[in-house]
Structures are given as structure tokens and as C-alpha cells.
Amino acid sequence: MTRPTTRIDAKFAELAAAGKKAFVTYVMAGDPDYDTSLEIVKGLPGAGVDVIELGLPFTDPMADGPTIQLAGQRALEAGMTLERTLQMVRDFRAGDSTTPIVLMGYYNPIYARGVDRFLAEAKDAGIDGLIVVDLPPEEDSELCLPAQAAGLNFIRLATPTTDDARLPRVMQNTSGFVYYVSITGITGAAEAEASDVGPEVARIKAATDLPVIVGFGIKTPERAQTIAAISDGAVVGSAIVAEIGAGKPVSEVLAFVKSLADGAHAG
């Protein structure tokens, strides 16, 4: 089956043609409140962000460290819901029709809404891809395959513990890009080391034609540069979410994002 080209596909093709690495950011939708969060998200492309991962707040985020857990709590306490997250994407799309948005979260809120309804609403709102961390390849019929049929990329995580026997299964129905989790454990923990990540990226690239983007443990422009240099790009989440959690003004948050983007693009 031929899949339609998504904004994610188009962005990576554009970056490859320019010989550039991708800079991807994660922020929690609705953190610390709807209006501030929307202002930050709207400012990300201008700060050099190529792909936006938008976190869907959830009460039991098992893969996330304290920084992102607290962001989710702040967002939920401020009244953020799946409905309002979709509205945030619509509000963003009113001024930006090209920057890819990946919704990242857990299956429970999607399941509760109903997969068919959710996919139709997500596509209509302007979401381009999904990362759902608690759905393994064995459950592809639940969401992955319906999402692809609806024209959304389904992006899979590979980790240091994804061995050669497991890797083909993980890659099987993945599209858009592969998110390589550079460390074992939760978000915001240890720092990613290029010497550890490089061989793993090469191993994954031997198994797929998709771009391989590295996340977890990237906190500085220098680290973003070294990781982007041995992959197709870098993801930063916790370090940015920590700035938001510290109550920094939007302008300071975006200046920090730009420093990271400059680092990744120099990779």
C-alpha cells in the first residue's frame, strides 16, 4: 500500500536535500497553562525547531522522569484534556501549515475516546504522527495500522535493549522516523554519549531507510551537536520542560531552544 506523504516525510526530505540534521523538541501540551503553552509551541519553528513533539498529559506516565511527570501534572491541574490538546494543534495550524506535529503519549486517553474518532479528529486538527510508548508491535492492529491507514505516521521507539532479533519487528510498521532512546531508563536521566549511541544508530540504519533521531539525555547545545553528528538529528525534551517548569518567560525558553537548535544543526 502506498502511503500519502506526510509533513514529517516532507520535512526530512527537505533536510536531507539541504544536508542538514533535524532538531526535534518535546513540550507538554498545556504546561503551565493553555495560553503560555500555545505561545511557546507557536514560537518553536522560529527558534529553529524542525519537528514538534507535543505531549498529551496523562495521569500515569510510566516512561517519563520527574521533570515531565510534573509537567503533565501542571497541565492536568490547569484543565488540559485530549480535546484541548487537539484544539491547541488547531490554533497552531491557523498560523503554520508546514511544521510537523507528533502527538506523544499513552494509549489510555486515545482508547477512551475511541480509536476511529480520535484518528479522524487528530488528522483534521493537523497532527502528522503519533508516538504511543505503551503499545508494542504485537498490538499494531490496535492503533498503528489504523493510524497509517488514516494518513498519520506511527513512530516507534528503539532502545539499547532492542536486540537484533527484536529490531525487525519494531521496524516493521514504523514510518516517519525512528526515535532512538539513547539511554536505558526514564526521560531526563543520564546524559547521552556519542560513543555509545553511534554504533547503535548504525545498527538501526542497517535495518531501515527511515531517519534515525536520537533522544533522552540531551541537555546542552554541545551535546545536541555531538549526537546530531552521528545520527539524523536530536530530540530535546526534559531540558526544555525544566525551563518551562522553572517559570522562565517564554522569550527565555525560546532563546534556550534556539541555542539547542543551533547546536543540532551544526551536527
- The string of pLDDT tens digits covering residues 18-55 is 999 999 999 999 999 999 999 999 999 999 999 999 99
Could you tell me if residue 2 is inside a domain? Answer: no
Domain count, the chain: 1
What separation in angstroms does the CA of 149 have from each of 123, 126, 144?
11, 16, 9
Residues classed as catalytic: 53, 64
Please list the helix, strand and coil fractions of the chain in percent, rounded to the nearest 5, in that order: 45, 15, 40
How far apart, in whole angstroms, are the C-alpha atoms of residue 249 and residue 252?
5
Tell me whether residue 20 is in a domain.
Answer: yes
The answer to whether the predicted template modeling score (pTM) of the entire model surpasses 0.85 is yes
Domain CATH code at residue 148: 3.20.20.70
Residue 190 pLDDT exceeds 80: no
**Burial (0-12, 13-18, 19+ Cβ within 10 Å), 95:** exposed
Residue 112: give the domain boundaries: 7-265
pLDDT, one tens digit per residue, over 47-96 is: 999 999 999 999 988 878 899 999 999 999 999 999 999 999 999 999 99
Q: Is residue 1 part of a domain?
A: no
Rounded-to-integer distance, Cα 109 and Cα 114, Å = 9
